[in-house]
Every structure is written in structure tokens, then in C-alpha cells.
Structure 1
């Protein structure tokens, strides 16, 4: 079994199980891809794909385990290349970050701009998904870093670094009755049509849970997964919404009015997730520090070594606010 065959196996999965697409991405032929897949299956001693005729329709249980191991092997080979490249004094490599739309569009934009200037030789990819998908991608090795809130326990192979808090606010169109609500209450908001995040995202869960705890259920007229869509429909007068404060810019979003929601809705926390066995080149630790300045490279390495201030494999840190090791 060769590294090329393992990379081919991963590429077929990433191509949505389409052998033709994988062959195109790998700049080879479909028969060559099929041959490499069979070689991996022969080496493993079991079929990795579920098949329907000549079509691949899914992964077997063995295939899912093999995929995780194959991604780690391919990633480790890339890490070795990066390590060798560092001897030449120029950073090069690949950094794949999995995150949600809100972080990609608002929180990461200035980080990526700075990172691109400092590391022009590093290929940066940002993939968007739900928090559950993001953690799974990190666990499987499809992404080096994840950035999102956490909806459940972490897989044993991963750790999470507390990065920054996310406050919420209420947005309404100009002239809306809620602008005159004193004080603003959940009952007052629930009397109006609500545009909400899908509950696959923590913002959707957190906001609706706040209403439910008070025995309220606002009329939801639209569910969406992106802040830009929610803002557009609020601006058009379809309803009101509770949204992350970082997603609203009063100078840019002139068709919206922002109302401080106080402590009506909980503050969420964004976490950076990575595999416990990750190799962290300098450009990765620098990216982490750009996202969350508390995690300087020295403090990050110390925290990973001691486990203090981080979440490991489904267990939470004992510290509500991480006490970082001193330099």
C-alpha cells in the first residue's frame, strides 16, 4: 500500500464518491483510480466502499475507520514535507480551516488578510459546515483546525481551545415597535414574527431555548443558516432576529436597527478544535494566536502538554475561564 493509493482513497471520498471527479482532480484516469482503490482494499483485506453495481454509494464500517487512518497518514506526510521545507527558511504548506459562515465572514476576515501577508507560501482553505460537521472533519483529518461553538462532547482524538465570546443583539427594521420597548423582554419579542437560525447551529438552539425556558414560542417565519440572509429579510420587514453582534455593522447595515438584548440571551463561546496528535508548524500556531491572542505559541504548547485550559475528548476544563500557564 502506497501513500499515493491512500491519497487516492481520500480523494474519492472528498469527491462525493465520484470516481470520475476524483480522477479529474488527481489528473489521472478512472481505471487508474479504481485500481488504486482496489489495491487499498486488498491491503486492508476488506471492502471499504458500499457498491451498487459499478457505483460507489457509501463507506463500510471498515471504510470509515480506514478513512480516518488514511487522512492521518497523508497529513503526516505533508507535515514531514513542511518540516523539510522549513530548513530552507521559507514557510510553505497547507492549512485547512473548517468553520461556520459567521466566523468565516466576520471573525476570520482580518485574520486571513494578515495571515496571507505573512505566509504567502501557505495554501489556506476555509470549509464551511455545521459545528458537528466541523468537529468530525477535524477528527477525520480533513481539516487541521476547526472554529465554531461546541454542541456536544468532543471525540477522544480532539481538543478544543477557548477562543472568544460571542454576544447577541436584536435587529429590527427602522421604525419598528420594539425600538420603543422599555424594558425589552422576551415576551415583547415573542409577539413579533421571528427569523431564526437553523437549530443545527448553536445560535439557533441558544435563542429558542431562551424563549422555551419562559414558556414562550415565537412565530418563526423563516429559518436560515447565514447571517447575511437573516439580515436581508429583517431589513425587508419580514420579521425580527436575534443575531451575533459581530455580524452587524451599523455603518454598513443601514437598513437595520440594533437593540441591546442585555442578558436575555446567553453569550456563546467560539472554540478552536484540533487533533491531539497534530503536528503544529509555526504558521499554524501563528494562525491560532491571530484568532485567539491568549494562545501564544508558548502557552499553546504548554497547555497541550498539561491539559490545563483546554477541553479534551468530551471532557471540559475545570477552569470556567482558562488559567493559562505563564511564560
Structure 2
């Protein structure tokens, strides 16, 4: 048994059981991958994959158990490599963050700027997607961490920690009738066409839930993943917008007005997600501390090691 065989098994599953694509991803030949997997099966005495002719189609029951062990072993190997790299170069390397558009556009710029000034030799990359997608990126080792709303806490295999709280706001053009309201209500908002987030983004589930428990069915005219898109169509007079409060700036959004809506849709929490058992380099801890000063390295280490079950703001 060797590490190449374990890598081939893991990559075959990741490539949807296509050995040609698995071989390409690992820069080797398809026959070599197939032979190595067969040799591993013979050594273990079980079939890892189900087959139709020469093609593999899926995992057998023992194969699923083997895959879990392979994932753990490869995770430990990756951790050893990272330890070596960190001790060899404490202030350089690569760092990939998976996050949503709202976080990348409105929450992270100042944090990223401060981080790159502190660690100029670190190659920082940002990947974008919805909360579940960015969580999966961390699980698949495509990213070191993910930053998104509470929905990311539902992804198995991740440890999530709260960074900061925020609330939604209702955005309207100047002189809009809703600006006369002393305390905005759901009934008042539902009287207008709504422009808000796609169902997978920025607390949309809380928005829908708030209307639902009041038996209101607002006319959602347009859904988007981008607050800037929402604001653009609100400025055109097409409807009332509901966006994350952090996405509104009085100076930048002079053509709009914002009304607080936390009392209607509740408080949301942006969270940082890390892979269970992952080895974190020193500058990853530094980034987390820049993102949320309440999250110290010691606290993150305690949660990652299992000394502490959770932490809430």
C-alpha cells in the first residue's frame, strides 16, 4: 500500500468515477491509475468500486469505509506538508478564501488590505459562491477558509465561528412613501414589488420566514446575488429593495435611502468556516483576528482541538 494508491482512490471519487479525468488531474496515465486501484483492492481483499465491464460506477459498501480512512490519511499528510512549509517560511505561502459576493465586496476589502500589508509575501486568492458552495470548497481543500452567513454552519465537516452581526435594511429612492413610516412594518413593505437576494444568499431565508409567519405573500419581482444589482433596479423605481445593512453606504449610495429592518428580519451572523482537523498556518490565524478581533488565536485553537465545543458572539 502506498500514498499514490490512496490519492488515486480519492481523486477517482472526486472526478465522479471517471479514471481518465482523475489521471489528468494527477498528471499521470489512466492505465496506471486503474492498475494501482486494482492492486490496492487485492491487498485489502475487498472491492472498493463497483464496475460495469472495465469502467467503475460507484463505491461498494466497504469502499465507502475505505474512502473515509483515505480522506483522514490524506488530510494528515496535507497537514504534515503545511507544517513543513510554515516552519520553512513563516511569512510566505498561499492563502485561499472562499466567500460570498456580499462579504467579498463589502466586509473584506479593509481586512484584505491590512493583511497584505502585514504579509506581502503571501499570495491571497478569493473564490466566490453561495454559502454551501464556499463550504464545499473548504471541504475539498480548494480553500483554506470560508466566510459566509449562518447557512454555512449546516455544512458537515466544518467548524464555524461567528465573526460579526448585521441586519437587513430596506432601500428605496428618495421621496418614497415608505420613508414616512415611523416604524416600518412587513405589511407596508409587502404592498410594493420586492427586489432582494437569491434564496441561497445573505439571510434570504429569514426574510421569507418573516413574511410567512404573518401570512404575507410579497411580490418578489427580482432576485440577485449582488446587492449592487438590487440597488440599481431600486434606483430605477422598479421596487423596494431588501439588502444586508453592510452593503449600504450613505456616501456611495446617494441616490437611495435606507430604512432599518432588523426588527422585522432579525439579526444575522457572518461566520468563518474551517475544515475539521485542518492545520492552520500562522497567517491564517492573523487573518481571522483582523476579521474579528474577538476571535483570538487561542480561542480558535481551542475550538479546532475540541477543547471548546463552540463560541458565540
Q: Same fold (TM over 0.5)?
A: yes
1:324 aligned partner: none
Unaligned runs of 5+ in 2: none
1:288 aligned partner: 288
The alpha-carbon deviation at position 294 of structure 1 amounts to 0.9
Q: Give the Cα separation in 2 of the matches to 1:180 and 1:56.
A: 65
Compared CA separation, residues 20 and 208, structure 1 to 2 (3 A): same
1:300 aligned partner: 300
The alpha-carbon deviation at position 59 of structure 1 amounts to 6.8
Matched, 1:193 2:193: yes
Compared CA separation, residues 93 and 249, structure 1 to 2 (3 A): same
Instruction: String of CA shifts for 1:223-277, please: whole Å, max 9, x gaps.
Output: 2223232222222322212111111223333443222235122110112222342
Compared CA separation, residues 66 and 132, structure 1 to 2 (3 A): farther
Alignment of 1:143-292 (within 5 A): 143-151=143-151, 154=154, 157-201=157-201, 203-292=203-292
TM-score, length of structure 1 as denominator length: 0.76
* Contact 1:78-1:93 at 8 Å conserved across structures: no
Alignment of 1:49-68 (within 5 A): none
Larger Rg: 2
Q: Give the Cα separation in 2 of the matches to 1:142 and 1:68.
A: 18
* Contact 2:166-2:246 at 8 Å conserved across structures: yes
TM-score, length of structure 2 as denominator length: 0.79
The alpha-carbon deviation at position 106 of structure 1 amounts to 1.9
Q: Is the partner of 1:151 in helix, strand or coil?
A: helix
Compared CA separation, residues 177 and 285, structure 1 to 2 (3 A): same
Unaligned runs of 5+ in 1: 312-316, 322-327
Q: Give the Cα separation in 2 of the matches to 1:286 and 1:119.
A: 10
Instruction: String of CA shifts for 1:196-229, please: whole Å, max 9, x gaps.
Output: 2222335111112112222222111112223232
Compared CA separation, residues 56 and 216, structure 1 to 2 (3 A): farther
Compared CA separation, residues 140 and 87, structure 1 to 2 (3 A): closer
* Contact 2:285-2:297 at 8 Å conserved across structures: yes
1:46 aligned partner: 47
Provide the alpha-carbon RMSD of the alignment: 3.6
